[in-house]
Amino acid sequence: MTQANLGAGPALHADPNCVFCKIIAGELPSRMVYTDDTVVVFKDIRPRMPVHLLVVPREHIPDLEAIEPRHEGILARLLLVAAKVAADEGLARRGYRLVLNDGADSGQEVFHIHLHVLGGRRMGPMA
């Protein structure tokens, strides 16, 4: 895990009402475990698994309906970083689940896209 670059930086196209934009800007506290120029990773405030991390792009993209071709690199980075932090948490060998909730039926709560990294115990089938 890189510890040298954990400083907060501004969110791109930040939405002043968005809780994740505020975390990225350092206006709200979080337990940050990784940052780079494109994404940040912090611990979910209400963990549903022994490991529950959120991989969040710095750019405020509300949902998948808002993604554009120019976001291709960001979307790839979300997966690459999810795999890296999962490995850093010791999950690579035993496995883990990535979740992206999109829209009302999924229960999406924060409209700033993010991947959940969930692991640390055996999971049942997805609902």
Q: Is there binding between residue 109 and ligand 5GP (CB under 6 A)?
A: yes
Q: Is there binding between residue 125 and ligand 5GP (CB under 6 A)?
A: no
Beta carbon of residue 17, minimum distance to Zn ion (angstroms, whole number): 8
Size of the site for ligand 5GP (CB under 6 A): 14
In sequence order, what are the residues at sequence separation of 6 or more whose Cβ sits closer than 8 angstroms to the Cβ of residue 127? none
Among 45, 66, 79, 87, binds ligand 5GP (CB under 6 A): 45
Q: Which amino acid is at 14?
A: A
Choice between 49 and 100, CB closer to Zn ion: 100
**Distance between CA atoms of residues 23 and 2, nearest Å:** 19
CA angle 6, 35, 78 (to 5 degrees): 165
Q: Which residue has the tokens 């979300």?
A: 78
Residues lying near ligand 5GP in the complex (CB under 6 A):
19, 28, 30, 42-46, 54, 101, 107-110
Active site residues: 114
